[in-house]
Structure 1
Amino acid sequence: MTSPQETPDRPRRGLAEKRQAIMRAARTVFGRDGYTRASIDAIAAEAGVSTRTIYNHFAGKELLFRTVVRESSAQVGEAQLDIIDRRLGKVTDLEADLTAFALAWLTPLAEFADHFGLVRQINAEARHLPKSALDAWQEAGPRRVLAALGQRFGELAGQGWLEAPDPGRAAAHFVLLTTTEVAQRSYFGAYPLARAETEEIVVAGVRAFLRAYPAPRG
């Protein structure tokens, strides 16, 4: 039998569960239809709730989209920060470790397919999207993660592994040389490349990076 103390929590749990259902549905619909074509009615149908329920949680489509993009980006960002910690926390062979890191960096493309569906739509509709949503996406994920990677490259430079006067720029160059081509050619995971092709791109990118940022002489 439920105690009186537990009763007030049930409405809160119900609200939280409905919010999560709305967020999951919105991520699916926005990723499938894009921001412009997606409707609150379609999101409500996907979530199994009424449109009134959505408006009880979010003032409108723009706020819902911004919230979905921010939270989804933050979730992927946490996974990428974990990859930085696990793969670059201790370096023993720079080329091998950077290659393993870059390959691991690509795993969220498959693990967070709904998020990268959103990314495809963001890239396609950028001029028609609220600037606040674009900023929320960048701040919650890409910029935060790139800053962390830059910090780690700065530490590697301090340890003598590479010469990087601007570690943040080095981090951006590393991502462009190793993983951006894979992401773009696979349409952000929609059509995954063969493992051998991915490895070939990453290995070539790591070697190009190390030619640009070699270990200091002596």
Structure 2
Amino acid sequence: MSRGNATTSRPRGGLADKRRAILAGALTVFARDGYTRASIDSIAATAGVSTRTIYNHFADKTELFQTVIQESAGRAAAFQVAIIDRHLHKITDLESDLVEFGRALTRPVTSEHAEHFALVRQINAEAGHIPQAVIDVWQETGPLRVRRELAGHLRQWADRGLLHVDDPDRAAVHLLLLISASNPSLPGAVPDDREIDEMVRSGVRAFLHGYLPR
């Protein structure tokens, strides 16, 4: 009996390891090549598995891509939600606390999440070629989760009279856009610490100008 249990447990562990290898390899390839250009052959080579193994786990490239973006977005969102909770759970000075939050949220991406945000850039570049259901899953798992978390804090501050907010979700979008350290006129440029600090400070001031109680 014990030999039978050991025999059946090994394949399960092996299958889980293969699935993790497939997802890691697929994230690398999708982040580099995008959805339309990525091939199952390239993913298999990167993951160190056969194409047949991939099809044993996923019906097609679309299902694999959806799983990759859902899991990757979930990890990135959890990271960003932790930043929101850490910096905004208790407000002592609205402007300075928002600046510190903005700095933490917009600091250069760590290697742990670099592939995810490279994948997001690929999605934005070829959104019209990606099934809408996949886009919806990504949005719900990642950006919308982060926005809802931030909106909850803004709603609480409005209830305390710190802000005048009619629509917390829209206010969260405004804040996230205003503290972004990216420069749309210089796509791909990586801002330095001084540029990030200036963008965050000016963005927070613009946000407060629009949302402080009248």
Query: Given the two structures, how large is their TM-score scaled by the length of structure 2?
Result: 0.93
Work out whether 1:143 is the aligned partner of 2:144.
Answer: yes
Cα RMSD, aligned residues only: 1.8
Spell out the pairing of 1:129-140 with structure 2 (5 A cutoff): 129-140=130-141
Structure 2 unaligned segments of length 5 or more: list them. none
Counterpart of 1:51 in structure 2 is 51
CA distance 1:20–1:183, shift in 2 (3 Å): farther
Return the offset for 1:170: 0.8
Structure 1 unaligned segments of length 5 or more: list them. none
Return the offset for 1:107: 3.9
Matched residue type, 1:27: L
Counterpart of 2:62 in structure 1 is 62
Give the 3-state SS of the residue equivalent to 1:90 in structure 2.
coil
- Could you tell me whether the CA contact under 8 Å between 2:24 and 2:47 is conserved in 1? yes
Can you list the C-alpha shifts for 1:22-42, whole angstroms capped at 9, x where unaligned? Answer: 001001001111111110000
- Could you tell me whether the CA contact under 8 Å between 1:95 and 1:207 is conserved in 2? yes
2:193 alignment partner, one of 192, 195, 207 = 195
CA distance 1:193–1:30, shift in 2 (3 Å): same
Q: Distance in 2 between matches of 1:208 and 1:17?
A: 48
Q: Distance in 2 between matches of 1:199 and 1:28?
A: 31
Return the offset for 1:183: 7.1
Give the 3-state SS of the residue equivalent to 2:109 in structure 1.
helix
Matched residue type, 1:174: L
Matched residue type, 2:132: K
CA distance 1:183–1:118, shift in 2 (3 Å): farther
Can you list the C-alpha shifts for 1:143-172, whole angstroms capped at 9, x where unaligned? Answer: 111011111110111122211121111111
Q: Distance in 2 between matches of 1:66 and 1:173?
A: 28
Q: Distance in 1 between matches of 2:3 and 2:86?
A: 45
Work out whether 1:42 is the aligned partner of 2:42.
Answer: yes
Counterpart of 2:19 in structure 1 is 19
- Could you tell me whether the CA contact under 8 Å between 1:79 and 1:108 is conserved in 2? no
Q: Which runs of 4+ in 1 moved over 6 A?
A: none
Counterpart of 2:163 in structure 1 is 162
Spell out the pairing of 1:75-90 with structure 2 (5 A cutoff): 75-90=75-90
CA distance 1:82–1:183, shift in 2 (3 Å): farther
Query: Given the two structures, how large is their TM-score scaled by the length of structure 1?
Result: 0.91
Q: Distance in 1 between matches of 2:108 and 2:16?
A: 26
